[in-house]
């Protein structure tokens, strides 16, 4: 296990986090939730930027508070609100990186900057949002880290720029033994990237599932009242009243497709699943 | 071999992959010992989860169409095409059988079922 977050709690005045999650070797794991759901607090706890009230965080099997510099060099990080000083140029940043990280590969870094149209001799305060986001990710991936921890690495970007970021991550994963923990509030990005998804709401993990299972087994049933009262309910996870009757979330799409061929079934996507998990009633 | 994924189809993505590989074997575009793309490479190319690709490869291996050599990759196994055809036939048989059962369950006679069958074939 590259990363293990066990019952990590952090209490604020209006918010309380209680989170457990795991990242296995070779996996891309997504953390998804609304703004304010607890994604950033979780990331900051993992990185020791927030001290949890209780619980345990282990990275590469070591307590996160006891990581030495060698282990830290195996982690690549993008945080939403952190960057290098904006009066530095990319060249200067590369100098710093070379001193900080033993495995920093300047040549590869400059090549990627060129490919992603990042100017080397311009101060980063003149960069666009998209350029800054790409630069932050290029920095995080420039020293052969085994674990990437990426909090909203594509925030504020348009769809094409986000695709570019996601492709860069897919490339990074071509080396085995690497893992990524990534958060986003844009579910379609994670749907196409992640192997597993954790959904977080009000500081709690409300669902952990393989992306493949969500896409192939989850579904939304649209039923009128009569259909709803006649249907078997053991595989329905949530229900929600609608003008036409009842909307239900299932994790056994095939069961209902086979046994109730007449009912309206939509393929589940992460947005539907998360909104039903949060807003729907249990059965 | 090129793969194509239908993202809005009700058919699970791993099944779509399996079907395309089986079709490749039947049509002869995939032959014994041909290397399949690595799990991560195919996941990257199709923009799907690596677990989905792995699930497809594992299921194909269980059915005897693919051999995975640990640390090397996955290859097309030495199945003869007849076997694939046979497997497909069985799938069709199963589908027909479930259609017949469903028809009987809602009170259709054999005669009605046969009529429907003839009509659909036309």
**Range A240-263 average pLDDT:** 93
Q: Which are the contacts of A135, defined by CB distance < 8 A and separation ≥ 6?
A: A90, A93, A113, A118, A124, A127
The CATH superfamily label for domain A3-210 reads P-loop containing nucleotide triphosphate hydrolases (3.40.50.300)
Please give the C-alpha separations between residue A102 and each of A96, A169, A221, B36, in angstroms, as whole numbers.
11, 22, 54, 36
**Mean pLDDT to the nearest integer, A75-99:** 92
Question: How much of chain B, in percent, has pLDDT values that exceed 90?
Answer: 47
Looking at the structure, tell me whether residues B73 and B35 fall in a common domain.
yes
Contacts of A194 in chain B (CB under 8 A): 49
B56 touches chain A (CB under 8 A): no
Residue B55's closest chain A neighbor by CA? A212
Tell me which residue in A210, A217, A261 faces B51 most closely, judged by beta carbons: A210
Confidence of residue B80 (pLDDT cuts 50, 70, 90): low
What mean pLDDT is predicted for residues A77-88? 87
| Model-level ipTM above the cut of 0.85 | no
B10 to A253: CB separation less than 8 angstroms, yes or no: yes
Is B120's pLDDT higher than 80?
yes
Look at the pTM and tell me if it is higher than 0.90: no
CA dist B75 → A16, A106, B16, B26, B88 (Å): 50, 37, 18, 15, 21
What is the Cα A189 distance to its own chain's centre? 9
Task: State the pLDDT at residue B84.
Answer: 75
B48 and B29 part of one domain = yes
- Whether residue B5 is contained in a domain is answered as no
Regarding whether B93 and B72 lie in a shared domain, the answer is: no
Q: Does B70 lie at the interface with A, CB-CB under 8 angstroms?
A: no
Q: State how far residue B94 is from chain A, nearest Cα, in angstroms.
A: 13
User: What's the number of domains chain B is made of?
Assistant: 2
* Domain coordinates in residue numbering, chain A: 3-210, 218-282
Cβ of residue B59 closer than 8 Å to a chain A Cβ:
no
- The answer to the question of residue B92 being in a domain is yes
Indicate if the alpha-carbon torsion angle A96, A99, A103, A107 is positive or negative: positive
What value does the mean pLDDT take over residues A86-96?
94
Average pLDDT over residues A152-177: 91
Better pLDDT: B80 or A251: A251
Q: What is the mean pLDDT of residues B76-95?
A: 82
Domain range for B46:
13-79
Q: Taking residues A95-106, report their average pLDDT.
A: 95
Question: Mean pLDDT across the stretch B84-105?
Answer: 86
Residue A123 DSSP label: B
B5 exposure class (CB count in 10 Å sphere: 0-12, 13-18, 19+): middle
Token look-up 């329905």 returns A236
Residue from A137, A279, A268 nearest A197 by CA: A268
Above 90 in pLDDT, residue B87?
Answer: no
Domain shared by B104 and B93, yes or no: yes
B33 plus B67 within the same structural domain: yes
Q: CB under 8 Å to B74, separation ≥6 — which residues? A: B35, B36, B38, B39, B57, B61, B66, B67, B68
The two most distant CA atoms of chain A are separated, in Å, by: 69
Name the residue with higher pLDDT: B80 or B74. B74
Question: Are both B44 and B72 inside the same structural domain?
Answer: yes
């Amino acid at each position: 296990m590259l990363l293990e977050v066990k019952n990590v709690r952090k209490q604020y005045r209006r918010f309380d986090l209680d989170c457990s999650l795991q990242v296995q070797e070779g996996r891309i794991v997504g953390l998804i939730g609304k703004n304010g759901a607890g994604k950033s607090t979780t990331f900051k706890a993992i990185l020791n930027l927030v001290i949890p009230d209780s619980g345990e965080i282990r990275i590469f099997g070591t307590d996160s508070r006891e990581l030495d510099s060698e282990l830290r060099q195996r982690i690549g990080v993008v945080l939403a609100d952190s960057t290098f000083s904006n009066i530095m140029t990319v060249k200067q940043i590369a100098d710093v990186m070379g001193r900080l990280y033993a495995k920093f590969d300047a040549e590869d870094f400059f090549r990627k900057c060129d490919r992603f149209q990042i100017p080397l001799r311009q101060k980063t305060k003149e960069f666009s949002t998209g350029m800054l986001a790409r630069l932050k990710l290029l920095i995080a991936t420039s020293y052969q880290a085994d674990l990437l921890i990426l909090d909203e690495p594509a925030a504020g970007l348009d769809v094409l720029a986000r695709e570019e970021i996601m492709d860069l991550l897919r490339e990074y994963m071509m080396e085995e033994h690497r893992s990524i923990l990534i958060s986003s509030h844009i579910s379609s990005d994670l749907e196409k990237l992640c192997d597993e998804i954790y959904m977080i709401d009000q500081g709690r993990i409300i669902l952990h599932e393989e992306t493949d299972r969500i896409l192939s087994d989850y579904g939304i049933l649209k039923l009128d009242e009569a259909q709803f009262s006649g249907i078997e309910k053991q595989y329905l996870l949530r229900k929600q009243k609608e003008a036409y009757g009842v909307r239900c979330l299932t994790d056994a799409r095939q069961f209902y497709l086979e046994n109730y061929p007449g009912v309206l079934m939509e393929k589940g996507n992460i947005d539907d699943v998360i909104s039903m998990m949060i807003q729907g009633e249990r059965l | 071999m090129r793969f194509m994924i239908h993202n809005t189809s009700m058919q699970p993505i791993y099944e779509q992959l399996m079907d395309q590989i089986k079709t490749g074997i039947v049509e002869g575009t995939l032959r014994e010992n041909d290397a399949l793309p690595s799990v991560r490479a195919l996941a990257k190319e199709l923009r799907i989860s690596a677990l989905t690709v792995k699930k497809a490869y594992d299921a194909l291996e269980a059915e005897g169409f693919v051999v995975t050599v640990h640390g090397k990759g996955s290859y097309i196994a030495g199945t003869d095409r007849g076997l694939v055809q046979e497997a497909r036939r069985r799938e069709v048989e199963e589908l027909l059988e479930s259609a017949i059962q469903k028809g009987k369950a809602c009170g259709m006679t054999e005669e009605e079922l046969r009529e429907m069958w003839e009509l659909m074939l036309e």
